[in-house]
Structure formats: C-alpha cells, structure tokens
Structure 1
Amino acid sequence: MNLSLAYAAPSFIREQSGQSLFSFAPNLKRAPVFFEGGLRDALSVRDALLCLHDVVQSNFDTRLTASDWDRILDPVATVARDQLFFEAFSGDESSYGRVAVRPGALQNIERWESGTTNVDFTPQLAGAIGTIRSDKDAHFQVDPEAFEVTTESQSRRERKVKLPPSWLRGFLNVQSAMTGELDSFELGRADARNLLAFLKSHKETFGPRALVFHLKPGQKVEAVFEPWNHKMVLTSSVYHGDKEAEVRVFGRRRLFLLNRILPKAKRLRVFLSGSGLPSFWLADLNDDVQFQLAISGWTTRPFAASGLHLSEAQTPLAADVVRRARESLRADEAMDAEALTRALNIVPGDARRALTLLCAQGQAMYDLDVRAYRKREVVDVPLDDLGMVGDPKRLTDARALVAQGKVKVESEVASPFSTQVRGVVSGTRGDYQTSVTLDSEGKIVDADCECAWFEHNALRGGPCKHILALREAVTNAATDVAPKSEEWWATLV
C-alpha cells in the first residue's frame, strides 16, 4: 500500500501580530483535522517537539544505508478532546517518541476538531522551533485551510510513500509492550543526569554493554554499567514494587535522546518490561506537557522485529464486538477495558481482546501515562480492510504444526487466572520440550522451549513457533469452555 502525503506548503513558524505562530501543515489526503489556539508554555512545547525531532533523525543501527532513510514517515499528529499528541519512530525504528500537550498548556482555543493526520516536520521547521523564546506569546495551529489561503498552488508538495509493514508492526509492538507487566520507578533528575554523564564519559570497546537495574522493594535503585561493572546508587530513586528484579537494558546510548529535556523535566518515570525487552521513559516537563521515549530491547532489533504482539491472545472475536468497540472508542476517544466492558456489556476478556485488535488494525493506541486506550487511526480505514493485517509467518507455521499433529500436550494445570501447559512439539530438527503459561485470556506470560531460536532469543523476540503451537493446541481444544475468570464475571452480569 502507498501512503499519499500532500501538503499545501511546508510547516512554518513566523512572527504574526506580535506573537510566534506554530503552523503545522497536515496531510491534505486525509480527513481534515483542526486545532487553533494559544500556548501558555511555549518553551515546554518547543523542547518536547525538538526531542521528537531528535528521535526522528536518530539512527543507532550502523547497518542502515541512505536508501533506508527514504522510508521514514512524517510524524502522526492526533487532535483529541483532552490533548494533542505527536508520534514518530527513529530512522532505525528502534526508538519511538511521543509528545502530549494537554489543555492546561493551551489558552484562547479557537477551533478544535478531533482526528489524526500526518504533519510536515522538516529539519528546517525544527530549526525554526528552536528560535522560540519566552518573551513572546505563541499561537499553535494544525489547519489545512490556513495553508490553502496563505500559499500559492505551486507550493503544494505531494509524494507517495510505500507504507512499510515494519512501521505498522512497530506501533503494534509498542502497544503490546506497554500493556505487559512492567517494573517501574521514579527516576530523580540528578540520578538521570549522572547516568547519562557516566555513559558520555565512558566508551565501551567490548561487551557486554548493558545498563543493569537492580530493583529491591523499598530500597534505592542500583545501576550497574557493563562492561566496567561500575555500580551507581540512585540516591533519589526508590523502587516501590512488590518483588525483587534485575533488568538489563541494551542499546543504552539511545537514552541520550532525553538530553535536551532532562534539565527541564519536573518528573521522570521509568517502566521496564524485562531484560532485553523494551523500556519506556516518561518525562513530564510540567503538568501539561509530556515527552515519552520508548526504546526496543536491542538497537539492532527494531520494534517491528520484536514479535511481542504474538504473545497476545489469538482467540477469535465476533466481528460485531470489534465493530461496536471501534464505535465506542470513536465516541469516547479514550477508555480502558473496564469502561468498554460496561459500555458493551461484554466480559472483560473480550473487551481487552477487542482493544488489542483495534491496535493491530491501526485504529487505536495505548497511553501508558493514563493506562487507557485512545482513538488514533494511523490510516483512514482499518488495516484489515486493506488486506494489510494477516497472520504472521510464525503464527501460520505454528498452526500448521497443530494441523499436522506434531503437538502433544503432556500436562495442563489450570488455576482461576492462569494455565500452565507442558508438551512436546516436533520440529524440523527433532522433538522439543515446550512449556507455556497463559493468563485467563490466553496471553502468553511465560514460556520455555528447547529449540535454538528460543535459546538465542528467549521471549525477547516474541514466542517461537513451537510455543505458539502448544498454545494453539490447548486453546483449540478448549474453545467451548470459558476460562474460570470469565465464568466468574458471567455470574455478576
């Protein structure tokens, strides 16, 4: 599929009536999206947008060539009732940035019409954003009509970009990682500066290269820098989780993308999904402007390649439920699974599955800050309507193993909220002892396999086809039996 981008003119910043005018050119090939209003804190918005531009321009994977940069897409901008937000991936798709601007950062709002579009965001615009100062009022607009009025037709710029499946899978895997089990702590600003200062002053020439966080309930977080094994106690960062954990973060130099806003951030929160898995860094410049940075588990493994979405439950869901969920999300713009459960009078598992499917279709995203799903339509129609959503090869191969009778379930131990399964899966190079733990909805929360792929990747690259096959064998056999937690819910409604 080709994504058509058409801009009446480049985005710009200019002086107008004694104030600075931020004017973002939206994609004219999409349904009109409007916002126009003043900025109370232009400097915070400026710094957050410059951080997003740093993400877009970054490339930590030295294997990429110049031609790979042609696939970089303009940021996605969404106007919602409770915030404006901009999202983008880095050139190597291993980093994701998001800027959120809430109503408290805005004033004198003249027009607000919800929707999602692409916006023209060039290096020239970033340079102009950097000139914004505090001594002038600032006005912000996303308005296609403004460009049609103030520019000549010959300035219109159009291009077609082949919509890369990796870009779409990247969004999906970011959401999948965010909705998983996360260890989190608030990182003190001084601690953050010390972390980056050490990395800046030390250049590793050999591995391992992890930044290791030691988390103990009620104690200060400890960070260890490999390969020097230098330990740093983060004196203003306390872990309040309920279990001890050690998490290894790779590709740590991507954290330099936070450099620009660290001196101004009022609060910095860290969410870790596990060793070699994505991590999320939320910087609040104030109560109303936030920058989010997500980095994949490895620099050379972009979000699209992580396969984390394969862990999500794959049980079928009625098309009518998905349709109604889409309509509810379009009406409310932001809701969690509990709210959707009440709105549609369905079981919680179906609500979560419906929201996950909407993310897979490019119609929704997960907001880690408020722990809710938001309407955000990457393209104008669901991706499955375009034939762009299909079963990944790994899942197709897993189902083939089940169909060929190559999966033998040896034990299945169920509890009210999880099921542990062990079995043997016959692969191309022999039989593999395989185990998987599923939550009440069929999502993979833990697994193990003897195959070489799993030995190298574990769950950092998503489940292998043998783990998926074992889950398929169990869920296929139990399609007529509701999970215990769903039975419990049914007694309440």
Structure 2
Amino acid sequence: MEGKVVLVTGATNGIGKQAATEIAKAGATVVLVGRSAEKTEATVKEIQAVCGHSRVDSILADLSVMSEIRRLAETFLARYDRLDVLLNNAGAIYEERKLTVDGYEMTMALNHLSYFLLTNLLLERLKQTAQTYGEARVINVSSGAHAVARKGIAFEDIHATKAYSAMGRYGESKLMNVYWEAQNRYRQYVWKNNPELSWVLDPVITVHPDGLFFECFSKDESTYGKLTCNYEVFRQIETFRCGTTNVDYSTKLYNEFQKIRTYKETELKVDPSGFEVQTAEDEAWKEVKIDLPDTWVRGFLQVSSAMTMPAVRFDLHPTDVYNICLKLRRHKETEGPRSLRWMLTPGEPIRLVFEPWNLTLVCPRSIFKGSKNHDIRLWGRRRLLMLERLIPVAQGFTVTLLGSGMPSFFEAHLGDMSFTLGLSGWTANDWSRAGNFDLLAPRAEVDTLTKQRVFDALRDNWLEDTGSLAQRLDLDRDIVAGALSAYVQAGRVIYDLSKQVWRVRELTRDPLAPEALRFANPREEAAAKMVEAGLVSETNVEPAGKGTKITALVQDKKRSHRPELHIDGDERLVKAVCDCSFHQANQLRQGPCEHILAARMAAKR
C-alpha cells in the first residue's frame, strides 16, 4: 500500500478504525472522516503511534448532512491528487425516527445516501487514479442485517412516514447498499467487456448540404467521436436548413437507436429544439436541446483545433487494425511506459512497438507513403478498441498523428458513412500532463475585418476547402487558414479531416471566447506568459531512470526560482520541487505551480 491514498468514513471506532489502522500499517496515506474533532484527533494520534509514520490525516464531516459531504469532497480533492481506495463505512441505527436537516430519514441518509453522494463526488478522482496507477476501488461496508428487509425496500415510503422500526429500517438501508453494489459491479463488467457502452456522451448534431454528422465527447475529456452520414444513406430527404443542435444522450435515446434495422423504416427529425427518432410503428422519442456541459467545452475546442494543425497522415488496412486490437486484448500492462510507438519509414510497412514489452507489430498491408521518417508515441492506446466493431464493415482506415503526446485521429471509411475517433492525449483535470501543449494558442495574425470576411464567405456555402476560399476572396491560403482556425477556437467552425474542408458548425448561439477557455487555471496562464516573455532560461533536460528530469531558471517579478521536474515514461509529472510559496504550501496536491509549468512548457519548445 506504499504511496496509495485511502479515505475511510466512520473511522473513529469499530470496523472503520480497525481498517484504517491496518491500512496505515501497510504503508498507505489514510484520511479519516469523523464528526467529533476531539475523538478524530485522538484516533489520528493513536494510529500514527501504531503504524510508525505520520501519513494519517483527518477531515471533519457529519455524513448525514448533504452539504457537509460536499465540503468533505471539496476538501479532499484540494489536498490530494489521487484516491486509490474509498472505504464507505459510516453507519448507525436509531431507535426513533429522525429527519436530517435536509429532510431525509436519518438511517437511510447516513447509511446509504452518504455512500452514494460521496462516491459520485469523488468518482472522477478515482477514475484518474485508476488510469494513472492501474487500479482504484470503492468498498461499501454493508451488513448481514440486509436479510431483515424480507419485503424489500418501501420506495413508495422512502422516508418511513407510515411505519418505523429501528432494525427494519437499518435492514432496508443495508439492502440499499447491496443493490447499489450489484449495480456498480454490473457497470464495471460493462466497462471491462464493452467499455463504449459505459461512456455517457452528449451529441452535437449538424445538418449540412452534403450530409448529417453527429459529434460527441466523453465525460473525462479523453475521447472524441464523429459519425458522418452522407444523404445517400437515407431513402427520403425532405426540405432542410443547415444548422447545429445538441441533445442529451439518454438511455431512452440509446434504446431507440438499438431498434434500427435494415428491414424497418426509421425516421429522424432534427430541428433547433432537439432530435426525434421513430422506428416503424413505435412511438416517437424526442430529446430536447440542452446546453453543452461547461466541463468539456474546453476539451472539445482543443480537439477541434488539433484537426487544423500540421500532421502526419497515412492509411491502415482493416486487417492491420484488427492485429493492433488483438495485441491490446492479449497484453495488459501493469507498469509504464504504456505508449504505442508508430515507426514510420517511407516506402516500408508501418511498424508499431507496444511498450513496456517492446513487442513489434509489422503492418504488411499498410505502406507508409510519406517523405520523412517519424517515431511518434501515443498514450491511451486501449481506446483504440472502440474501432473493433467497425473492422468487418470498414473499407479502410486513415490515421492522423500530430506528434508524441498530442491528439490523434483514426477515421474509419464505411462507404456512405465515416467514423472519426479522436484521442485527446489527456483526461479531465489531469494536471500531470499540464504544460504539454497549448492547442488554443493564437496562431496567425489576421485582422478582425479579414477574419469576418472569410467566415461570411464560408457561410455562403457552409463548407469549402482552403484553396477555393483563397481563390474566391483573392487572399493568401495562410490568411484563410489562420482566420478559420480562430473561428474553430471560438466553436463556430470545424475542420473535416475526411474531406479536407472547413465547415460552419456553431456549438453555441453566442460565440465562445477562446481567451477565456485557453487555460485550465490561472497558473497555466501565468506560466504561458512567462515563457512568451522569455523569463525562462537555463532549461536543461536529461535522462533520469525510465523518464527525464527538467530544470530551469524562472524569473517571476523580482524573484527567481529553480524548479525541478521528474517526468516518467508515460510523460506524466510524477515529482517536482519549487521554492515558491504556492508549492511549499500545497506541494502537488492542487497541481503544479506556475514555475513548474513554465519549466515544462519551455522544455517542450
């Protein structure tokens, strides 16, 4: 358990206290949750004395109060960058019926609702830890007392207003734990065996002169998908107008899509109010338009901007894609580096190296036709398994690589349809990769009037390539590309990799401000300004074990700092030091300081 972080609720007595003690003795950092300051502090000291180290922390919270649970989660997330185990253990039995300050029956609120809310508030941190370190777990302590609830749970009287029995209510709360655990295990099974079904995506739907396309982005900001349907797919097209809407991808909408068959007629309706689908004589289902989640707008824009950047493109035969997926299925890494290396040599078959085993796969049906050698490393390779279901029907695949650690795109050519899978190279709030690249940085100096002129010209036809627009407007190609790249960053234009054209696609009614979305936090912005102002010097990058060490001199106002960073084989920031006040107070618990970020940005350049 060395290096792991474990959060234990109900940790001042009983099972919780004993579990926290044993986990601390095994070397983990343990965070105790208790209500009483005096009792919790005494428990911390007692466990520290037994385990022989000081990595025992505490957070006070009354877990029957929803606002206290939210404060607990916020406090933990601010202190710790990882969570390996969440042990939900707090619980109690009450002889008389009580209500919490939120109006919930006390037994159910403490014994089950606290488990549910705390787990969901910490779920993203658990997922990040699992992705970075291999695994993370949620343990819910239930009881054999769930057998007392022989008639199940009275959902129609969830607050026990009609009848109350202390043991009966306790049994119901513990049965809820069991139900929830079973549901979670099912979700884990789906994630392991068919992960694409467990990703909740909110599609953006666009109608264009030559077809209809659906875009979506995963909640963790790691994966982008775009399905394009030419109008040849549809038997009948009624009068339409071009535009964009977005809807919630609900379970009901998913189920409606499962009804589509070649022998059934399905009608799709898209309008500004949402998206409607009806198959055969079944009742139609409509998803109404929603606002795009702010949590992933920045990532969505970064992936869209990546499509406009210079890149290496090549084709892969479906059989070679099958062999890549087969390798990923047969081998599961337990340690880094976890990259997939693309070895590209002009005129030769494409070669891939799977780290850390250094297994080489030669793609004899896919010859690289570029003019230069390339060695590009990608992370998050298991997401490529999403392409498996397309292999039997794909005519071919086209791969677009921006560079090591950068976003990549995999296009499946499906006749009158195509699917683009984009891998962002990062996950939500994953500061360990911060400073790698800045996809929303301004690129070309184009005056406002020219930018507006180019955009208006594109709106005339809704889609057009760079050369055609440049000729029509009598402008340099670089000016046209620079102007439209700015509109991509504002969420109003997208670059279509398959057809190599620009398309009008407005994510929101009002234009987004790229300058407000460019950075994840003020420290990233400050770091970028330092690098741009030439305040980072003496940058040194040298091998260190399986990774690299970066040092630099960073000038910040009247002080100078010498941050030192350690990057592992998976390009993650695993250790860093700086003498600034922010780092001294927080270490890496709230992410790196601006000086550490500036050093990494300068090293990348």
Shared fold (TM-score, shorter chain, > 0.5): yes
Structure 1 partner of 2:298: 169
Q: CA deviation at 1:197?
A: 1.5
What secondary structure is seen at the aligned counterpart in 2 of 1:365?
strand
Equivalent AA in structure 2 for residue 80 of structure 1: H
Q: CA deviation at 1:425?
A: 7.6
Of Structure 1 and Structure 2, which has the larger fraction of its residues in strand?
A: 1
1:369-407 deviation line (CA, Å, top 9, x unaligned): 12221100000121139x95577754555446777x848
Mapped to 2, the partners of 1:203 and 1:459 lie a distance apart of: 19
2:247–2:289 CA contact under 8 A, matched in 1: no
* Secondary structure of the corresponding residue to residue 218 of structure 1: coil
* Secondary structure class of the residue paired with 1:263: helix
Structure 1 counterpart of 2:168: none
What letter matches 2:486 in structure 1?
L
Q: Among residues 260, 283, 288, which one is paired with 2:389 in the alignment?
A: 260
Instruction: Quote the Cα distance in structure 1 between the aligned partners of 2:457 and 2:353.
Output: 46
Asked whether the 8 Å contact 2:528–2:598 carries over to 1, the reply is yes
Give the C-alpha shift of residue 95 in structure 1: 0.4
**Conserved? CA contact 1:248–1:276, under 8 Å:** yes
Give the CA RMSD over aligned residues: 4.3
Cα gap change, 1:63 to 1:309, in 2 (>3 Å): same
Amino acid at match of 2:270: V
- Counterpart of 2:235 in 1: which secondary structure? strand
Which residue number corresponds to residue 411 of structure 1? none
Matched with 1:291 is: 419
Question: Superposed, which structure 2 residues align to 1:304-343 within 5 Å?
Answer: 308-310=437-439, 312-314=441-443, 316-343=445-472
Quote the offset at 1:358 in angstroms: 0.4
2:356 counterpart residue number: 227
Superposed, which structure 2 residues align to 1:114-263 within 5 Å?
Answer: 114-143=242-271, 163-164=293-294, 166-263=295-392
Unaligned runs of 5+ in 1: 1-58, 409-423, 433-449, 471-493
1:81 Cα shift?
0.5
Rate the CA distance shift 1:162–1:333 in 2: closer, same or farther, 3 A. closer
| Structure 1 pair 306–380 and aligned structure 2 pair: CA distance change class (3 A) | farther
1:370 aligns with 2:499: yes
Residue 419 (structure 1) aligns with: none
- Alignment check: 8 A CA contact 2:213 2:229 kept: yes
1:277-319 deviation digits (Å, cap 9, x = unpaired): 2211100111x10010011225577799677445754554322
Match of 2:43 in 1: none
Query: Distance in 2 between the 1:174 and 1:251 partners?
Result: 15
**1:78 CA drift (Å):** 0.4
Question: Which of 382, 396, 410 is the matching residue for 1:281?
Answer: 410
1:308–1:160 Cα change, 3 Å:
same
Structure 1, 314-323 or 223-232: larger mean CA deviation: 314-323
Give, in whole Å, the separation in 2 of the partners of 1:396 and 1:457. 25
| Residue 497 of structure 2 corresponds to residue 357 of structure 1 | no
Q: Report the alpha carbon displacement of residue 94 of structure 1 after superposing the two structures with TM.
A: 0.4
Q: CA deviation at 1:362?
A: 0.9
Residue 93, structure 1, aligned to residue 221, structure 2: yes
Q: Deviations over 1:338-390 (max 9, x none)?
A: 333334333333322211110111111111112221100000121139x9557
Q: Which amino acid aligns with 2:453?
A: R
CA distance in 1, matches of 2:288, 2:308: 37
* 1:456, distance to aligned residue in structure 2 (A): 9.5
Deviates more, 1:270-279 or 1:295-304: 295-304
User: Residues 172 and 309 of structure 1 are in contact (CA less than 8 Å); yes or no, is this contact kept in structure 2?
Assistant: no
The aligned length equals 369
Deviation at 1:147, TM superposition (A): 8.6
**TM-score computed with the length of structure 1 as normaliser:** 0.63
Match of 1:80 in 2: 208
Q: What fraction of aligned residue pairs are identical, expressed as a percent? A: 34
TM-aligned CA distance change 1:380 to 1:302, over 3 Å: farther
In 2, distance between residues paired with 1:228 and 1:146?
48
Letter in 1 for 2:320: D
| Counterpart-to-counterpart distance in 2, 1:397 and 1:276 | 20
Q: What is the CA-CA distance between 1:201 and the residue it aligns to?
A: 2.0
State the Cα distance separating 1:268 from its structure 2 match: 1.1
Alignment partners' CA distance in 1, 2:274 and 2:245: 16
Kindly indicate whether the alpha-carbon contact (under 8 Å) linking 1:180 and 1:273 is maintained by their aligned counterparts in 2: yes
> How many Å apart are 1:452 and its aligned residue?
4.1
Structure 2 counterpart of 1:348: 477
Kindly tell me: are residues 129 and 81 of structure 1, through their superposed partners in 2, closer, same or farther at Cα, counting changes over 3 Å? same
Report 1:480-491 matches (<5 A).
Answer: none
Q: Residue 327 and residue 72 in structure 1: after superposition, are their counterparts in 2 closer, same or farther (change >3 A)?
A: farther
1:83–1:453 CA distance, 2 compared to 1 (3 A): farther
Letter in 1 for 2:235: Q
Give the greater-gyration-radius structure (CA): 2
